[in-house]
Structure 1
Amino acid sequence: MPSFILVCLFVICGNFTIYAQNTSNFIEIKGIVTDEKSNDRLVFSDLIIKNTNISTVTNIDGEFALKIPMQHKNGFIVITHLGYEKKEISIPSTNEKLKIKLTPAVTSLETVQLVAKTGDAKSLVLETLQKKGTLYNNSNTLMTAFYRETIKKRRKNASLSEAVVKIHKQPYSTYRKDNIELVKARKNTNYDRLDTLALKLQGGPFSNLYTDLVKYPEFIFTQEDIDNYEFSFGKSTNINSKLVYVVNFKQTPLVKTPLYYGKLYIDAETLALINAIYSLNVENKELSSQMFVRKKPRRVDVHPTKATYRVNYRIQNGKWHYAYSNILLSFKVNWKGKLFNSIYTLNSEMAVTDWEIHNTKIATLKNQMLRPSTILTDQASGFSDPEFWGEYNIIEPEKSIENAIEKIKRQLKKT
């Protein structure tokens, strides 16, 4: 995956959060999505305003915030989560926090039946990857997305960045790469503690966009590497009352180069990839470090301890499209001659909150376009403004981020 880390002689220290106000143009609802039986909070659930492309996802606490244009205030919200039955509710007229409970879906297809129906797991994956030209959006699409990036030193927030971007999504049937246009952004960084390192995420929103395995399979399943993986069937699941095959994959024991392992969720009817959760094998510290670290002092040893990825797709009008992705990277930093090491965690996520088909070519505003090597610039703009995002849908911040933003606002008031 093209998610690199620049290690420099700086320190990053900071935090962030989000606020949104109701205006005459939209209403905002908030709530939580949980399992009906266990009451567990459901992370990464999809919430979509019915008959529109307006959507959001639940955060790590299972919570969400959704801004609804006034013309849809009498409509419905559709809630889906892998392994659960779809639920549809009317848009409430009050500001009361919603508590939405989803019912676990039941599937009875055994592995023996699955193999008889689909053949071996590797063949199923290859067939799935070949269907991108027919099952996925094949038009020029302009997507509005929210991007968040956090860097933590151990458990403390070290840097917080957020942005609203426009993704100029190219047809899945072409090899043209997508473009990203920056609409607005804010970032807070603190350089007070110069006894540590600064880790900067190179790639920004592009790193999350490249987790789109259907559009960019070459980042994991290249023609050269596909034979270096073992594929097997897991227990099937369900989404929207439709059967979903689960395929496990991992590198073969003889391969020493760091490759990936994880699960692919494939729609049984169309064989579309609808979800993927995977990780990089970081057992080989030297080789895995070479995949991420682009610059560091000589006296420092840096290696990844975790690299996990997630990508979700949604279907609209019979076509699937990229909807959400999440990247979590952890690094251990050792200074030669120092007794203690430092642990840094980088997390980035991007959610498509609206989109529209463009009949003409897009990505013409070159001065506003980001580059794949982008590192979001330092700026604290927006953290003190409760209406900074206006009508844009964003991912509801988790509790630690909310606390961090409050701290930023207090710091800004002092200065």
Structure 2
Amino acid sequence: MKPLIATIALLLLIPAHSKDAATIKGIIKDQETGEAIPFAHVLIGDIINVSNIDGEFIISAADFEEDGAKLKVSYMGYENYSTPLSEIEPYHTVLLKPSVTQLMDVAVFSGPSIMRNVFERFHLNYEMERQHMVGYYQESMSDWEKTYYVAEGIMDIYTPSNLDKNTYPLVNPLRTRKKVFEKIDVIDEVLGGNASDMAQSSIWRKQSFLSIKNRKNYDYFYAGATSIDGQDVLIIEFEPNGNKGNTTGKLFIDEETFALIKIEYDPIIDNYSFWESVSWTEEYKQQDGVFKLVSVKFEGTSTNHAYNYHALLVINESNVIDEMPSDISMMNIYDSFFDMAQEDFTDSFWTGFNFMKLDNTVSRLLDTGSKF
């Protein structure tokens, strides 16, 4: 049975003045500057979503009773936010307060010593069992003046245990939509969906820079501290120490558990036919005693600097399963998610699922039907 989000709204879930008791909408801002905060984590119970580039969010509250249920928001470098659903406004403004973190003693926290703790605790900190996940996926391509297309989908994702021989996630698109605003030759080359790649965490990927055989190819440097979810977070910068390393980036590590909770990395690309540069961001959150992947972001720039490609996967729900499914028709990893996609860009298209609100630029583009 798929643990999908229930579609029946519970009456009186939030105040009577709200017209949509199953959904909470709002915006997240910096309390001091008033600036919008993009890609903040928004939670109700075990359901997770993120704010869009404009700081706006939307999340289903249909599965939660009013008593005791809370809306929680977290973002690195800010104090946690939490408020009962009973106090939520129809359009709720969340003001996050910047946190103050003391720079920790470099002599105590050296890069290599921190990473030894991180690697020794991989099997304690991260989920090793098979997972069924339901996630929202979005991709788009633009240049410096206009957007060429946007495509979205709700994905059923099955990830094998890191001990399984089959280490590639299985993906089944549940609902997809796309809109091409202007046709260019490379759209067909990239439009297809990368949720399979993105659901494969760097923690367990065999070719990852964090794998047992590759981690020795990097030097690690302590670079300071910040906070997230009320916990102190250590920052480690890493770079290749020889010609076998192929990635640079930053690691954000929970000081108490030594778990990686955010990874920012840039593969070093030489002589690649299409991409000039690419960058990845993975984020993890603790659930049921282990840290699980909750969001992955990919950005790429073409070799002639003409096109910028963006992709985002948000894992809204994640549950342990006993075995990989054999009775569900899964896509080949090279198949396109969007061959049969619809062009319905109303919010009602996603009824029963969590999704990310489209940013204002794309929304205006859809309304006018013209190019920017």
Tell me the TM-score range normalised by the shorter chain: 0.7 to 0.9
Structure 2 residue aligned with 1:99, among 93, 104, 110? 93
Q: Partner of 2:176 in structure 1?
A: 185
Q: Partner of 1:362 in structure 2?
A: 324
Q: What is the identity, as a one-letter code, of the residue corresponding to 2:92?
A: L
Q: Is the 8 A contact 2:192 2:338 kept in 1?
A: no
Cα deviation, 1:25-70, whole Å, max 9, x if unaligned, reads: 6521211112222223222211111xx3112111122211112106
- Structure 1 length-normalised TM: 0.76
Cα deviation, 1:342-389, whole Å, max 9, x if unaligned, reads: 61111100001123333x21322342x123323333345142554211
Distance change in 2, residues 1:131/1:372 (3 Å): farther
SS in structure 2 at match of 1:114: coil
Q: What is the identity, as a one-letter code, of the residue corresponding to 2:325?
A: A
How far residue 190 of structure 1 moved from its aligned partner, in angstroms, is 5.8
1:393 aligns with 2:340: no
How far residue 197 of structure 1 moved from its aligned partner, in angstroms, is 7.0
Structure 1 residue aligned with 2:249, among 259, 262, 268? 262
2: CA distance between counterparts of 1:320 and 1:173?
17
1:40 aligns with 2:35: yes
1:250 aligns with 2:212: no
Superposed counterparts of 1:1-400, under 5 Å: 24=9, 27-49=22-44, 52-69=45-62, 71-74=64-67, 75-92=69-86, 96-115=90-109, 120-172=110-162, 176-177=166-167, 178-189=169-180, 198-201=188-191, 204-210=194-200, 212-216=201-205, 218-223=207-212, 225-252=214-241, 255=243, 259-282=246-269, 284=270, 286=271, 289=272, 293=273, 302=274, 304-333=275-304, 343-358=306-321, 360-367=322-329, 369-383=330-344, 385-400=346-361
2: CA distance between counterparts of 1:397 and 1:219?
32
Q: Is the 8 A contact 2:176 2:338 kept in 1?
A: no
Distance change in 2, residues 1:237/1:281 (3 Å): same
Q: Is the 8 A contact 1:261 1:279 kept in 2?
A: yes
How far residue 123 of structure 1 moved from its aligned partner, in angstroms, is 4.4
Cα deviation, 1:98-122, whole Å, max 9, x if unaligned, reads: 111122222224233533xxxx423
Q: Partner of 2:17 in structure 1?
A: none
Considering Cα pairs closer than 8 Å and 6+ residues apart, tell me whether 1 or 2 has the greater RCO: 1
Q: Is the 8 A contact 2:148 2:180 kept in 1?
A: yes
Q: Partner of 1:404 in structure 2?
A: 365
Q: Is the 8 A contact 1:164 1:184 kept in 2?
A: yes
SS in structure 2 at match of 1:392: coil
Q: Is the 8 A contact 1:111 1:233 kept in 2?
A: no
- Structure 2 length-normalised TM: 0.84
Distance change in 2, residues 1:202/1:188 (3 Å): closer
Distance change in 2, residues 1:203/1:114 (3 Å): farther
Cα deviation, 1:55-96, whole Å, max 9, x if unaligned, reads: 211112221111210643452111111122212112256753
Q: What is the identity, as a one-letter code, of the residue corresponding to 2:344?
A: F
How far residue 280 of structure 1 moved from its aligned partner, in angstroms, is 2.4
Distance change in 2, residues 1:385/1:247 (3 Å): closer
Q: Is the 8 A contact 1:245 1:268 kept in 2?
A: yes
Q: Partner of 1:6 in structure 2?
A: none
User: CA RMSD of the aligned region, Å?
Assistant: 2.9
SS in structure 2 at match of 1:188: strand
SS in structure 2 at match of 1:362: coil
SS in structure 2 at match of 1:207: helix
2: CA distance between counterparts of 1:251 and 1:101?
39
How far residue 158 of structure 1 moved from its aligned partner, in angstroms, is 1.4
